[in-house]
Structure 1
């Protein structure tokens, strides 16, 4: 029997719509299980060549140091995908566990373990219900994982805060909220706003029966700040990586043409007092 998920009905509609929270949440796991192999084949080299990138611009943790000194630190990655970031952290001396809701993504991580010879502890878990004791981690982080794919991101922040020890860090990167006002187009057409920044309806893909196949949620900068504050976290920094000259790649709506004038990623750095 194949370990690949069975094919689902094709997407027939895509746009910005209100959908039930449980439908959007369920779609996330199914989409990543179904598309993990294709995603890793397309982006795996970019994600893995530097070990830990915060977004498509290419900013690395080695350059940015947003997690602080990780040597000996207890680290939890949520929405880890194939655990490229966790694998790099292991090499820096961190005691890290990589978690993801998608079994297929974690299978990709296990494959990389075999290829690289570096074994990352892997746990299948929802970022809103981590199987770790309170105050057991020094750092919790995600690079584009979890936060955009659930209707109730406040629970992700609250769970990160619960797992962190006092003084610990929760750091997460997401699509820059400003980008949601612009079409997901890497050409100059993507530089003209076409919808309100304040329209918080998620981007949704459905099949011909109306089943939600994919949902990604938009939050303003203020929404993110209020969510982390409500979790009892202190915002320390918001990093908006500029597009570097060396990066000539296009990744979805990210490209050198757009990156020269429009932010694509926001990294929020918070601590637990």
Structure 2
């Protein structure tokens, strides 16, 4: 189990595709609203909560036995348990109801409706994470923006209740909302993903069909192109860094497979060179 106490990097990385690039050009970062990636863990109770399962014969007989044992000794001396079972049809409906009520007071699950009211960003400590490129970066064909961790869109302020926290991996279920955990499940992940060291930004979803956060000058410091980014995407990013005053300060990199090891590395890319000379 990895705790949520990982040290915050000065930079966090947002992977995406050409849709993200278009939004960035307009000074916005689109927020996500689909929490389905947290399944099946959000619904863990369906495998462990027995209130949906039929009441078994053994449960009914055990309850009838308990009823019988509570009878006064004088009655039990005159009435065998086998004779008492003749009243089963009369007692069974109440027994079933009691068993189901006890089940409902057992394991509690995540409040999915609370998650549905929240929007989020998935951020990473590095621009060289294979699984992030595959999952979020259009299958290695997309782009990755390196953001300052103190960027305005990641920082809470009045009217902007942003919550930025590292993901806790393999942790015990915490389904009750609290000041430290206002949206249970939002900052959790399976232990097998721990190497990704993901952070998540969570915000109220609001009324917009596609919620977004405002991007300010200086929030982005580096831009990475995916190993399989096509010529048009490369041209578009180069044009952004070359001519847009909001991004002229950004360093540009091309992510490529390392020459000696099974890993990714980043090579500096000059935005002012001809695209045809070194486009992937």
The alignment's TM-score, normalised by the length of structure 2, stands at 0.23
TM-score, length basis structure 1: 0.24
Using CA pairs under 8 Å that are at least 6 residues apart, name the structure with larger relative contact order, 1 or 2. Answer: 2
Tell which structure's C-alpha radius of gyration is larger: 2
